[in-house]
């Protein structure tokens, strides 16, 4: 009957090791939108029985937060997935696309979620899918449906079903490393500490976080497996151990150590073996990050007098300077396609996230805030998540790489900082 209906099974995340931080949800505020917003109507899904999550509302919020869609009022009526759609009527209301869906509770307690996406201009179905999901995966299913809609209409892969990690300081001696959905909801604490936690970095496969914890009184690099909560110190040498960065294959970390004097970049196995020194500059070398193709390490160095971004081969050879504008450029991050670099630049006392096209060297400030830190690319390369300060509080914000779409995510309490955007979830 429904020829394009595909049945997909949604696998649950193993989040058993996580402590729930239910009161720590981030709130989203949109401060900039795209220039051409696509008009879309997302009708309420027809429900069969009690459904614990507002799947349709989550989809609407996702599309709106992306800044690329304008939501058309649906009048609140539910439209079932298999209903006959009056394309002309929705067209007249201004919607170029329409989403309808149904949710039914199955005998085993799980839910059957179906949706269809229509192009009301061409009067054709663009997508249609069915999911079977346990109750605690309904949010994830809503994010996956949002990803399908986003990809069909923009041509880019959606990032709603991905996760982010960040650090919250809740009090003078109260720090949490939290993992949340990309919209800031469903936040879970992966680590609580009385000492600072900085520089979380997500492995390319999304299973592990590396970070720096001061819990022993000094900075030590840990690798933390999210599914099990198992963690181990992988760099704990004399002096300071910090700034972990994953190689794309997940086998190696670049780290910054002071064991031999000034902060220099080393490589070390993800199990703590095989330490090798990569830089030998006599200046600060820090914030290494691998290019997604694994060929280069970008890093911050003050070898030229002030901090600038440099690039070298993963063996430490062929060092080239990358940034030349301004006297302070730090925290390089490379886009997933390897073509753009994001960093924090200081110009006229303002610290802002810049995006540079590596081929042309053209740079663009993409934020409307002035105390920016820690940019992190979304896995589709379209958005950057970063930390900034608004009204004296540390918050997270996002900006599209063209600088048009901007949102802010603030928690109910504490300073939020050090975000890192996880990879696509398979």
**Interface contacts to another protein, rule CB under 8 A:** 196, 198-199, 214, 218-219, 239-240, 242-243, 256, 258, 261-263, 284, 286-287, 300, 306-307, 328, 330-331, 344, 346, 351, 371, 373-374, 389, 392, 417-418
Phi (first) and psi of residue 27, to 5 degrees = -105, 140
Residue 52 C-beta: closest distance to another protein, Å: 39
Instruction: Give the nearer residue to another protein in terms of CB position, either 49 or 217.
Output: 217
**Position of tokens 């294959």?**
249
If the CB atoms of residues 15 and 284 are measured against another protein, the closer one turns out to be 284
CB of 127 or CB of 287, closer to another protein = 287
Nearer to another protein, 48 or 373 (CB): 373
Query: Closer to another protein at the Cβ: 49 or 305?
Result: 305
Nearer to another protein, 147 or 285 (CB): 285
Min dist. Cβ of residue 392 to another protein (A):
6
Nearer to another protein among residue 225 and residue 258 (C-beta): 258
Q: CB of 306: closest distance to another protein in angstroms?
A: 6
- Least Å distance, CB 218 to another protein, is 6
Q: Shortest approach of another protein to residue 374 CB, angstroms?
A: 7
The CB-of-373 to another protein minimum distance in angstroms stands at 6
Shortest gap between Cβ of 248 and another protein (angstroms)? 21
Closer residue to another protein, CB minimum distance, 79 or 399: 399
CB of 331 to another protein, least distance (A): 5
Apex 60 CA angle, 57 and 61, nearest 5: 85
Which is closer to another protein, CB of 122 or CB of 238?
238
To which residue do tokens 């990032």 refer? 159
Residues contacting 402, CB < 8 A, separation 6+:
364, 366
Query: Least distance to another protein from the beta carbon of 57, Å?
Result: 36
């Amino acid at each position: 009957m429904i020829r394009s209906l595909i049945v997909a099974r949604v696998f649950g995340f193993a989040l058993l090791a996580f402590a729930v931080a239910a009161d720590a949800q981030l709130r989203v505020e949109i401060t900039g939108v795209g220039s051409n917003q696509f008009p879309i109507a997302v009708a309420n899904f027809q429900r069969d029985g009690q459904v614990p999550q507002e799947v349709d509302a989550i989809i609407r919020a996702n599309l709106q937060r992306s800044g690329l869609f304008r939501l058309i009022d649906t009048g609140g009526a539910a439209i079932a997935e298999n209903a006959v759609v009056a394309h002309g009527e929705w067209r007249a209301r201004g919607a170029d696309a329409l989403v309808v869906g149904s949710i039914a509770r199955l005998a085993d307690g799980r839910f059957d979620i179906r949706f269809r996406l229509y192009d009301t201009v061409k009067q054709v179905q663009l997508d249609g899918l069915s999911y079977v999901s346990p109750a605690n995966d309904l949010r994830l299913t809503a994010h996956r449906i949002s990803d399908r809609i986003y990809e069909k209409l923009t041509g880019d892969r959606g990032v709603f079903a991905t996760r982010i990690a960040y650090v919250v300081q809740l009090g003078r001696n109260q720090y949490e490393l939290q993992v949340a959905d990309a919209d800031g909801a469903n936040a879970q604490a992966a680590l609580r500490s009385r000492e600072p936690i900085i520089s979380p970095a997500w492995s390319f496969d999304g299973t592990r976080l590396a970070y720096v914890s001061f819990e022993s009184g000094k900075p030590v690099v840990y690798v933390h497996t999210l599914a099990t909560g198992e963690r181990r110190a992988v760099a704990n040498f004399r002096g300071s151990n910090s700034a972990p960065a994953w190689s794309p294959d997940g086998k190696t970390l670049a780290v910054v150590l002071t064991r031999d004097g000034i902060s220099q970049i080393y490589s070390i196995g993800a199990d703590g073996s095989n330490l090798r020194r990569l830089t030998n500059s006599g200046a600060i070398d820090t914030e290494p990050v691998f290019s997604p193709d694994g060929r280069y390490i970008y890093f911050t160095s003050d070898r030229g007098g002030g901090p600038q971004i440099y690039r070298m081969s993963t063996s430490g050879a062929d060092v080239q300077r990358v940034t030349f504008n301004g006297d302070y450029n730090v925290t390089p991050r490379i886009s997933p396609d390897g073509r753009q670099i994001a960093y924090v630049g200081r110009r006229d006392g303002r610290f802002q996230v810049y995006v540079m096209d590596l081929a042309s060297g053209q740079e663009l400030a993409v934020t409307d805030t002035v105390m920016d830190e820690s940019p992190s690319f979304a896995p589709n390369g379209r958005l950057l998540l970063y930390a900034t300060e608004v009204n004296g509080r540390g918050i997270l914000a996002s900006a599209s790489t063209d600088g048009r779409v901007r949102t802010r995510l603030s928690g109910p309490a504490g300073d939020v900082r050090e975000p890192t955007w996880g990879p696509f979830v398979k």
